[in-house]
Amino acid sequence: MSRVAVIGSGAFGAALAIALAAQHDVVLWGRETPLMERARQERRLPRLPGAILPDRVQPTGDLGAVRGAEAVLLAVPAQALREFLAAQRTVLAGAAPVACCKGIDLATGEGPSALIAAALPGSRPALLTGPSFAADIARGRPAALTLACRDEAEGARLQALLSTPTLRLYRTPDVTGAELGGALKNVVAIACGACIGAGFGESARAALLARGFAETVRLARHLGAQESTLMGLSGLGDLVLTATSEESRNFRFGLALGRGEGFAPDVTVEGAATARAALALAARCGIEMPVTAAVAGLVEGRLDAETALRLLLERPLRTE
């Protein structure tokens, strides 16, 4: 009987564990051992209210339980991934790692696959990304995601292993495009949320979505990504979902910024750090990213939503 492991018991990690339990035994690791013991007994997790953990999901606080799994899905926040890998490289040695986070590391400017490759030499890192809300996956609603892996054989193996009757995976070797599409859509979603929160309207949101996507494509293409990847699930598909729904944490965070309200401090908002990391990366590449710059200013408190939009509108007129 096959066994896979999910590291990270937040909403998305728990949802993946539930979906994969349709055809695998699943080890679900969380860092708070008492919480995971309670989850083992009650079959519930607080980050995913209303969802029941199937019997084939084994919640645990013992990281050693992931050894021997056919794939290890890393559903930890993007900004915590590098430190986690450094601390647990012995346990993860020989694992088949699949990153399930979306972001650019602030300290290194690298995506999840490069962080994994540096921490686990000899591994063949993969990335699972695309338009998906945890609640939909946990309820068994149909979703399609991108499985990105430079190693074609490993990508094909993981695609077959991790696809389920309700979770359809499309494979690509373009890890760069998949990573940047997933990371930067969170930044654009914050911009769109701030736009709506400040009362600028749907037309302004559509403009921000389109121009934000255009600068995503510019940076990704400069770094060697295929434009077709950005037009697919891991780029445009994920962006449309995240920038138009209040189920998106990044969109809700933007709404709060636009309204001048606070936001729950314990909720991970990947796009906040990614905006700053992407802006630094774009500067090194000589790529202009005005929407990303506006979001970075909002996140850092240097700009309010009205000033950020005015600065975007005052940019020199140009061809599209």
CA–CA gap between residue 228 and residue 225 (Å, rounded):
9
How many CB atoms lie under 10 A from the CB of residue 204?
18
Please say whether the beta carbons of 87 and 80 come within 8 A: no
| AA identity, residue 285 | C
- The contacts of residue 91 (CB under 8 Å, 6+ apart) are 63, 64, 66, 67
How many CB atoms lie under 10 A from the CB of residue 245?
13
Q: Of the residues 82, 185, 211, 249, which is catalytic?
A: 185
Can you point out the beta strands (E) in 45-175? 57-60, 72-74, 97-99, 126-129, 143-149, 167-172
Based on C-alpha coordinates, what's the Rg of the chain?
Answer: 19
Q: Is residue 173 exposed (0-12), middle (13-18) or buried (19+ Cβ within 10 Å)? A: middle
| 185 belongs to the catalytic site | yes
Structure token pair of residue 300: 């850092």
The H or E element containing residue 205 is helix 202-222
Q: Render 70-85 in DSSP notation, one character per residue.
A: S-EEE-S-HHHHHHHH
By residue count, the chain amounts to 320
Q: Would you please indicate which residues are annotated as catalytic (active-site) residues?
A: 185
